Each structure stands twice: as C-alpha cells, then as structure tokens.
Amino acid sequence: MSDIDIRVTGRAGRITLTRPHALNAMSYDMCMAIDTALRNWREDDAVDLIILDAEGDKAFCAGGDIAELYETGTAGNFDFGRTFWRDEYRMNAFLFEYPKPVISFLQGFTMGGGVGIGCHGSHRVVCESSKIAMPECGIGLVPDVGGTLILALAPGRLGEYLGITAGRLGPDDAILAGFADTYIPQAQWADLIELLEASGDPAHIATHAQDPEPGPLRAAQIDIDRHFAGETLGDIQNSLTGDESEFAQKTLKAINRNSPISMACTVEMIHRLRGPSLSIRKALELEYRFTYRAMEHGDFLEGIRAQIIDKDRTPKWQFAGTSVPTVAVSKMLQPLGADALTFEEEKAMKIGFIGLGNMGGPMAANLAKAGHDVVGFDMAEVNIDGVTMVSSGAEAAAGADAVITMLPNGSILRAVAADVIPAMSKGAVLIDCSTVDVDSARAVDADTQAAGLLFVDAPVSGGIGGAAGGTLTFMAGGSAEAFGKADPLFDIMGQKAVHCGDAGAGQAAKICNNMILGVTMIATCEAFALADKLGLDRQKMFDVVSTSSGYSWTMNAYCPAPGVGPQSPADNDYQPGFAADLMLKDLRLSQQAAESADADTPMGALAQALYAQFVENEDGLGMDFSAMLPRFEKRGRE
C-alpha cells in the first residue's frame, strides 16, 4: 500500500507512514495493515522490536481519516464508522499490550488516531517540532483510541483540562502529561534508528535522551487543578467563569468552541476511569460506547461539517454551554450489550445468578446479552431472557467463575451463602449486590475466604430503570483481586463501579448514601408542602431550587411533585420506582450501623421514624418513597 511502508530492517519490524501530503492521516486500510504486521511479528524471532515513524516534517499522524466517516454517516450508514472504530481500537489495545518494545518517533502533529499508534508503545520519542493533542471534542467526538487512559493517568486534573480544551502539547508538556517518554532532537533520529535496526536493543534511546525546553503546563498546573476538580463540565465552566484571570478566560474561550455533550462525556469518562482498575481495554470499551453512538446521537457529523467540510467553524451543537443534562451523558455512555467492544482473548464467563427479582432479573439478562453463560436460581418461578434456570442455588454456583446474589436482606444472604459456598470452585468470586447490613457482608466475606474464594459486597444505586438499562452504580468492598475479577461484570450491568475499600465498605457507602437520600427526600417534600401553603407555584419553586443552593438529586432528577421537573414516579401516581418500604429498610440499616459504630445521626433517626410511620401506620406501603409529598400536603403542624 502506498500510504504505509511495512518491512523488516535488521532486527526491527518497521512501519513508516508515507502519506505526508495528508499529514499521514490514518485510513482504515492503514490501520489494518499495522494490525496484521504486529500480529506477524509477535511470534517472529527475527524481530526484536518495532519502530514506527512517518515521512514529512509536518506530522507523524494528524488523526484518523474522517472524510470517509462523514460520507458514510451522512448517508445514514453508521456501520462503517462503528467497524472502523472497533477494529482501530482493537489494534490500539494490541499495540499497547505488545510483548516486544514498540518505539515511535513523533515529529510535528500527533493527534487523535495518531496518538492511538504513536503514544501507546514502550518508548515514545518527541523532538523540537512535536505537537501532541486530543482535539476530538472540537469535532463532536471524545478523546478515543485509548487517549482517555493517558488523560486519566495524567497528573492532577491535567487530563480533564487537555481532554476538553484540546490543548496542544510541546515536547516537555507531552512528557509531563504522559503522552511521550523521551526528548531527542530530530537531527539525531536517523542515526538512532539505524542503531536500533542493527542491534534490536532499545537501550540506545536512553543514551540519546536530552532535556527539552520547559513547557508552559508545569506553571499552569495549580490553576488547572483548581478549576478542573469539579464533578461535571458545568462545575468546571462555573469555576472558570467566576475567575477574571487570563488563564481562566483563555481556557473558557477554548472550551466554548467545543461540543458540550462531548466535553461533558469526556469529564465523566476520565472520572470513571481514574483509579486502580484502569486498563487500556476498559478505556477503549468506554470510548467505544460514545463513538458507537456519536453519529446518530452525538455532535460528530455536525462537528465534521463545520470544521472540515464547510469550514464555517460555526457548528450547531445540540446543547448550549453548561446545560448538558446528566441523563444525556448517561445515555451516550450506557453499556452497548451485545454490541460492546470486546477483545479477542476474552472468553465468556460462567455466572451463577441467585435472586432474579425486580433488580436481579434484568441484571442477569444484561449479562446473558453480553455473551456470558448465565445460570439462575430463584425461590419464585421466573423466566429471564437468555438465562438457564436450575432448581437450587448450589446447582447455579457449581463450576461458575462468578456467583452473583441479589436478595432481599442479610439473613437470606447468609442462608444462601451457606448453601452456595461449598459448591463454588476455588478462586471463583461471590458478588453480593443486595443491600444488607455491614455485619452480614463481613460474615459472608469471612466464610468465602475460609473456603478459598473471593468476595465482593457490591450494593447498587440506580433502581429498576438502572438495572434494565445497564446504568447502575456499584459501591464495592473487597480485596483488589476480588474487585478486579468482578469489575468486567460491573461494566456490563452498570455505568460506574467504585472500589470503596475492604469487605463491608460497599454496604457502608450504600447505607450512608441512602441515609442522605431519605433525609433529602423528606426535606424536599416538606419544602414543597410549605411552598403550597405559602401560595408559591410548584413550577416556580422547582425553577428556583433546582438551580440554587437547595438543589439535590431528589429535586432535580426525581422531583416528588407531579408534572414538575423530569419524569418521575410522582407522574405515575407514585408507583415505585424505589418503594418507601425499601427506603425504610435502608434507613434501619443505617441506624443499626450508627448504633454499632457509636455515630450520632439525628436526621437519619428522624427519617427512619417518619418512613416507619408512613409505611407501617399510614398508606405508604407499596408507594414510591417520594409519596411523602402527598402525605405532608394533607397535614397541618400536629
């Protein structure tokens, strides 16, 4: 192929991009040629290392060849893009995990798709002219080709900053941010490459290394960390808006050019990925969720039109400024089920699933849909798509790599665990996703350890909708090994898994979260009832509070007033949703935990008493927990 030159020279597998007139932009065919070459050389004893370089002074590789993506996408063919990205990402992972040294020489621009081949090897060399960037948010995409892994590992909040501003990195800044390793003036490259080809020894790189001129990022790190620490894109924008400094204003200007949905997803992706369970496959799988939907639901086609095709530079993004709703971000990043990005060595797991009720049923169905072999058991007669039902917990657990439980309470969990632990194979993991008391979680952990098994307590938030849509949040406790084993399954059933600490830490996090939720729901409902009595319109109350300091998840995302705010159980006669009796259960768990830990929780105690009154003595049983509002509405001060 004339766009790429693949050969073996001396001890080196050589890949040279030979398309300088197009800034060495990567086409699908170039991508596949690299993939094939890497596969051929993996087992070839004549090849000790791989060298990647490019012709021309302007760019190593300025990105993916997007013209073809645009053409097919605007014609309504989204499959071409999905196949392109899927195969490119698999090649990126292959290169990242390559068992031999991979050395890249990155002159001029290395952007987007260029980062995917140039910045994942073991030795990444930059020179005076190097300019590295992830500019995808400017065209309605997100940093991809594994770029989110580098961004999530960058010091402080540099990842968020570079991801959403698309800032260009000179050699020193590229090394600081983790896109490159070594600075060597370009004049020395030809000799160095000859040495590498002849010897097959990457040690020659270190002997040529020099110090680059300091770049501007080091001095800006304090400002970056301060402004980019927020939870969402909106937090970052608010922080910058409130600062008149040159840095803040320049940064805002850069952000204002880019696609809001892309930037909001980029921030969310970096937050999800940062942490001990980060891997290249995890980053690419998350990126693929966005790119899979980018043409149909994102700003990608409009971004390409404005920047590359019409060049009018005035894209009409689907959201304005800071107003990207959380739900839009979740939709772009929710798991893809059977279409998820997979990697060749991954094999289906055998999973036993016990407790297939409102939550467990759809969770098990999502695992089966993703290609796993799921065997289920429930006391009740249930039928779940793709799940083979058997007649006991022990039968479901036999020979399984993982057993998942989703049960009503701690005593049932202990009884089920006593039944399944002896049936499980050594090294398998028991994952309890029920909400139970911390003591039960720790007791089951001790029993699994004694049997040579792993355990994770992983209660969830997100409710029945989250279970069905695969958008749950898991709060997990257990060893790093146990969490690592469970994590790929969390990725299928949910959008986020936080490793909170040792066994029991997941339940502790869940209990604390739901204590806040119960108290906040009561506060929101009583404030609405008070507003009614003061003659304040409910919509006006929502408009003010949802954007003022009284805002909360219960007001903004789950508003208890019918017809106000987003759709919620209030709009469906308070059918749950999240039942008031389940909230009572969680509040009781919180007070039980507070007692055993000697913690003072007066608001939690009051919330428990109110929900107990509502569920046990009034008409709260079977109602959503937000039905506290009609309860308060009917009452006076007595």
List active site positions. 510
What DSSP string describes 55-104?
A: SSSSEEE--B-HHHHHHHHHTT--HHHHHHHHHHHHHHHHHHT-SS-EEE
Query: Strands (DSSP E) along 480-520, which ranges?
Result: 494-501
Residue nearest to ligand NAD (CB): 357
Nearest-angstrom CA–CA distance, 237 and 426: 50
Whether 626 contacts 521, CB under 8 Å: yes
Contact between 360 and ligand NAD (CB under 6 A)? yes
Residues 327-356 that bind ligand NAD (CB under 6 A): 354-356
Of 407, 545, 559, 628, the one binding ligand NAD by CB under 6 A: 407
Closest by alpha carbon to 424, among 383, 391, 444, 453? 453
Segment contacting ligand NAD by CB under 6 A, of 4-12, 257-265, 457-465, 610-618 = 457-465
Contact between 434 and ligand NAD (CB under 6 A)? yes
Contact between 515 and ligand NAD (CB under 6 A)? no
Contact between 557 and ligand NAD (CB under 6 A)? no
Whether 491 contacts 367, CB under 8 Å: no
Structure tokens at 240: 């910058």
Nearer residue to ligand NAD within complex by CB, 62 or 356: 356
Nearest-angstrom CA–CA distance, 453 and 482: 9
Nearer residue to ligand NAD within complex by CB, 104 or 435: 435
Of 379, 418, 446, 480, the one binding ligand NAD by CB under 6 A: 379
Nearest-angstrom CA–CA distance, 478 and 291: 33
Tell me the C-alpha to C-alpha distance, in Å, between residue 199 and each of 49, 186, 372: 10, 20, 46
Least CB distance to ligand NAD at residue 461 (A): 6
Contact between 380 and ligand NAD (CB under 6 A)? yes
Nearer residue to ligand NAD within complex by CB, 256 or 411: 411
Whether 107 contacts 267, CB under 8 Å: no
Q: Which helix (H) or strand (E) holds 34?
A: helix 28-42
Segment contacting ligand NAD by CB under 6 A, of 35-43, 197-205, 357-365, 538-546 = 357-365
Torsion, Cα 558 560 563 569, to 10 degrees, reads: 70
Contact between 357 and ligand NAD (CB under 6 A)? yes
Nearer residue to ligand NAD within complex by CB, 202 or 577: 577
Closest by alpha carbon to 132, among 65, 28, 61? 61
Least CB distance to ligand NAD at residue 485 (A): 21
Contact between 623 and ligand NAD (CB under 6 A)? no
Residues 414-433 that bind ligand NAD (CB under 6 A): 416
Dihedral (CA of 508, 368, 389, 578) sign: positive
Least CB distance to ligand NAD at residue 69 (A): 40
Of 16, 326, 358, 592, the one binding ligand NAD by CB under 6 A: 358
Neighbours of 479 (CB within 10 A): 17
Contact between 480 and ligand NAD (CB under 6 A)? no
Residue count, binding to ligand NAD (CB under 6 A):
24
Could you tell me how many residues make up the chain?
A: 638
Segment contacting ligand NAD by CB under 6 A, of 14-22, 247-255, 424-432, 458-466 = 458-466
Contact between 437 and ligand NAD (CB under 6 A)? no
Residues 563-592 that bind ligand NAD (CB under 6 A): 578, 582
Binding site for ligand NAD (CB under 6 A): 354-360, 377-380, 393, 406-408, 412, 416, 434-435, 460, 463-464, 578, 582
